[in-house]
Amino acid sequence: MLEPREGIPPVIADEESLAGMIAAFEAGSGPVAVDAERASGYRYGQRAYLVQLRREGAGTALIDPVACPDLSGLGEALSGVEWVLHAATQDLPCLREIGMVPTRLFDTELAGRLAGFPRVGLGAMVEGVLGFVLEKGHSAVDWSTRPLPEPWLRYAALDVELLVDLRDALEKELDRQGKLEWAQQEFAAIAAAPPAEPRKEPWRRTSGMHKVRRRRQLAVVRELWEARDRIAQRRDVSPGKVLSDAAIVEAALAVPANVHALAALNGFGHRMGRRQLEQWQAAVDRAKVLADAQLPQPGQPVTGPPPPRAWADKDPAAAARLSAARAAVSALAEQLTMPQENLITPDTVRRVCWEPPNVVSAESVGTALAGFGARPWQVEQVTPVLVAALSA
């Protein structure tokens, strides 16, 4: 499929056009296909730079959320309508920022996982389920570009063109497999989930951190990461375009004495101006003069069980329980033709195996699973195999 059925709609970029589009979509029928494009790798943050929708009776709409940043009116008009998204958890945060929050949804990627499809990307699903090949190739472009080129808009419109058709086919397949109720529980959980909490100490996710061992070096990573983040936010560019993670780790390992030493390191080379080098060296110097009490601790505070590799030493009985539980969950997932992590999260299995209920029974294990956020269908499927593994 190389062209949307009704052609490429004009981009909505003013309040009058938006009001007309909202009225049309409110009057439409059935579920609404929704997608959003971000500028990851180009801009700071994860905001939406294009929103695409399609609904029976209303056709396709492309909205510029830079020109129309408040789409809460559209969100309200579609309240109670089922939204069809592909990999919903990726798009919901940026949609929430502009006032679009679904009350009901159908996630075609998750549906594909539960139904046992080996490839669950949108293109692969549309081809495998509906027999259409979508024109792909613009997913990683800079969607903050204005005006957006026509080929990009065509690609964006095609992303919602067949989403409702895909939803209908997947619903039938899930029903045939006896998994439709399971999928509905998963979708309801996604729709009801609160926004994610901001990460504590996000600098610890710098790529290559495993090489950094000493607390003073960790402080260098933190100071450089925070300086980079402020600059990236001010300039509205991706942090990686300001300074690479590899350069941050390089500077942390070397703890350079001065600008000259810093300039000799990978990532701070000949193309970097004196002023830039001085601002990075200033961050290194701030880390150098911190008192020991102000230095970050190695490793993040662990909540829950220790890493599984440490179990054999710390608690051999728990290690044996985990091994039996993993094998049982893996066999059940294979039997149900779905990925293990969709049957039950590995973290939930670890927690139950590390601290099992005092009396192992279907009731106590089921209660423990539910307490860790497992859905009723997961509790029902997984409890019997976990009871067996914990009792072995």
Is residue 296 in a domain?
Answer: no
Look up the CATH number of the domain holding residue 48: 3.30.420.10
The answer to whether residues 174 and 242 belong to one domain is no
- Which of 192, 214, 239 marks a domain boundary? 192
**Structural domain for 344, as ranges:** 308-391
The answer to whether residues 20 and 157 belong to one domain is yes
Mean pLDDT of 207-225: 96
The reported pLDDT for the residue numbered 162 is 96
**Percent of the chain, pLDDT > 70?**
99
The answer to whether residues 122 and 37 belong to one domain is yes
The reported pLDDT for the residue numbered 301 is 66
The reported pLDDT for the residue numbered 329 is 98
The answer to whether residues 177 and 259 belong to one domain is no
The two tokens of residue 212 are: 């950094």
DSSP state of 292: G
The answer to whether residues 47 and 164 belong to one domain is yes
The answer to whether residues 275 and 322 belong to one domain is no
How would you classify residue 201: left for phi > 0, otherwise alpha for psi between -120 and 50, otherwise beta? left
Look up the CATH number of the domain holding residue 218: 1.10.150.80
The answer to whether residues 65 and 167 belong to one domain is yes
- Which of 127, 159, 192 marks a domain boundary? 192
The reported pLDDT for the residue numbered 134 is 83
Is residue 294 in a domain?
Answer: no
Residue 221 has pLDDT above 90, yes or no: yes
The answer to whether residues 244 and 173 belong to one domain is no
Is residue 366 in a domain?
Answer: yes
Is residue 360 in a domain?
Answer: yes
The answer to whether residues 186 and 38 belong to one domain is yes
Is residue 9 in a domain?
Answer: no
The answer to whether residues 185 and 45 belong to one domain is yes
What is the number of domains present in the chain? Answer: 3
The reported pLDDT for the residue numbered 239 is 96
Residue 267 has pLDDT above 70, yes or no: yes
Residue 295 has pLDDT above 90, yes or no: yes
Residues 6+ apart with CB under 8 A from 148: 11, 50, 156
309-346 burial string, b = 16+ CB within 10 Å, else e? Answer: eebeeebeebbebbbbbbebbeebbeebebebebbbee
The answer to whether residues 74 and 143 belong to one domain is yes
The answer to whether residues 21 and 167 belong to one domain is yes
Of 301-305, 330-334, 357-361, the range with the lowest mean pLDDT is 301-305
The reported pLDDT for the residue numbered 24 is 98
Parallel, antiparallel, or unpaired for β 59-63 and 48-56?
antiparallel
The two tokens of residue 382 are: 């997984």
Mean pLDDT of 325-333: 98
**Residues 38, 49 contacting (CB under 8 angstroms):** yes
Residue 365 has pLDDT above 90, yes or no: yes
Is residue 7 in a domain?
Answer: no
DSSP assignment of 319-366 equals HHHHHHHHHHHHHHHHHTTS-HHHHS-HHHHHHHHHS--SS--HHHHH
The reported pLDDT for the residue numbered 3 is 87
Mean pLDDT of 296-312: 85
Note the pLDDT tens digit of each residue in 85-135.
Answer: 999 999 999 999 999 999 999 999 999 999 999 999 999 999 999 999 987
Mean pLDDT of 7-15: 97
The reported pLDDT for the residue numbered 325 is 97
Is residue 228 in a domain?
Answer: yes
> pLDDT-derived band of residue 35, with 50, 70 and 90 as boundaries?
very high
Is residue 61 in a domain?
Answer: yes
Mean pLDDT of 266-280: 90
Note the pLDDT tens digit of each residue in 132-149.
Answer: 998 777 778 999 999 999
> pLDDT-derived band of residue 302, with 50, 70 and 90 as boundaries?
low
* CA quadruple 144, 147, 149, 150: dihedral, nearest 10: 120
Residues 6+ apart with CB under 8 A from 152: 138, 141, 143, 145
The reported pLDDT for the residue numbered 140 is 84
- Which of 131, 157, 192 marks a domain boundary? 192
